[in-house]
Amino acid sequence: MTPATPSTLDQTLTVAPERKGGGEQVALALFIGIPFLALLAAIPVAWGWGLGWHDIVIAVVMYAIAGHGITVGYHRHFTHGSFKASRALKIALAIAGSMAIQGPVVRWVADHRRHHAFSDRDGDPHSPWRYGETIPALAKGLWWAHTGWLFDVEQTPRSKYAPDLMADEDLRRIDRAFPLIVAGSMLLPAVVGGLWSMSWQGALTAFFWASLVRVSLLHHVTWSINSICHTIGERPFKSRDRSGNVWWLAVLSMGESWHNLHHADPTCARHGVEKGQVDSTARVIWAFERLGWATDVRWPVAKRIDARRISA
């Protein structure tokens, strides 16, 4: 179905990355940058009547809770087993991740484990290289990797990729409660915003910024790991795919954009392993470990990391 067969991709993997043309880089930057700048431009326009400090605080808190629910919970714990969680923490992480509205935990984990099993080859649910390596094929592939794949009628078999999670009664219950958690995630900001300002206007603006804008921004940041971080970025580590480290997504993605290291060492609890690489997800795991809620954390081991460096 796809021209990017494993054998053709093998010849151009991270060991010998190809350089991209300048025009391609500019087009990519424009498509990523302009809609985001438009959102930023809306902030001063709305300030004072359609947006205030309350909305910002609620949006940031909701983004951090749902975002780390995905990165700490869905990704590093449930998908990769980077640490063991107490039962209460496991339940809290599954609920927090569900609040991001990226699907129930078992479905998300099954897709992501399949991504690692086939990264950038046939079978990867969201490789930007799916349609080939020419610029039109890559443009189509980027769209597919970012959002298109979500509409694929073919689904990853959960029983094959996440039987451990399907056997967990707590997670089955949280999966069943997914629509309820979604409703809560959308309505909670309005309730807090309304009570905080004691006004309907406060409820409405909090709903707009801390529900709609927050969910949308987090969706795009998560999807950017699949699209942008498999197309551009530094590749200092050996991996079987085209994953890259993209520094400018580190804060918004909570450390997930150090994606080349992640594919080189998937169970590692810290993705930003180098000095100065922001990884708030690793910080949160560290705090959970201090509290005694997370154990057996797989912190980076210098020898293991060094063995995966391309220059090594």
Q: Which residues pair with 309 in a beta bridge?
A: 237
Q: Which is nearer to Zn ion, 50 or 148 (CB)?
A: 148
Q: Which is nearer to Zn ion, 102 or 211 (CB)?
A: 102
Q: Which is nearer to Zn ion, 54 or 121 (CB)?
A: 121
What are the phi and psi torsion angles at 237 (to 5°)? Answer: -115, 155
Residue at token pair 């997914």 = 178
Q: Which is nearer to Zn ion, 156 or 243 (CB)?
A: 243
139's CB contacts (< 8 A; 6+ apart) are 27
Write each residue from 227 to 246 as x if it is in contact with Zn ion (CB under 5 A), else as -, in one continuous string. ----------------x---
SS3 content of the chain, % helix, strand, coil (to 5): 60, 5, 35
Nearest approach in angstroms of CB 181 to Zn ion is: 22
Kindly state the DSSP code that residue 237 receives in the 8-state scheme: B
Write each residue from 27 to 66 as x if it is in contact with Zn ion (CB under 5 A), else as -, in one continuous string. ----------------------------------------
Q: Which is nearer to Zn ion, 125 or 202 (CB)?
A: 125
Q: How many residues form the binding site for Zn ion (CB under 5 A)?
A: 1
Q: Which is nearer to Zn ion, 193 or 244 (CB)?
A: 244
Buried b vs exposed e over 205-238: b needs ≥16 C-beta within 10 Å? bbbbbbbebbbebbbbbbbbbbbbbbbbbebbbb
Nearest approach in angstroms of CB 124 to Zn ion is: 8
* Strand positions, DSSP E, 75-128: 84-85
Nearest approach in angstroms of CB 262 to Zn ion is: 6
Mapped onto helix, strand or coil, the DSSP state of residue 69 is: helix
Q: Which residues pair with 234 in a beta bridge?
A: 245
How far is Cα 97 from Cα 207, in angstroms, rounded to an integer?
A: 19
Q: Which is nearer to Zn ion, 128 or 193 (CB)?
A: 128
Question: Closest residue (Cβ) to Zn ion?
Answer: 243
How far is Cα 209 from Cα 211, in angstroms, rounded to an integer?
A: 6
Tell me the Cα Rg of the chain.
20
Nearest approach in angstroms of CB 309 to Zn ion is: 19
What's at 294, amino acid-wise? A
Nearest approach in angstroms of CB 148 to Zn ion is: 16
Nearest approach in angstroms of CB 239 to Zn ion is: 9
Nearest approach in angstroms of CB 135 to Zn ion is: 22
Q: Which residues form the interface with Zn ion (CB under 5 A)?
A: 243
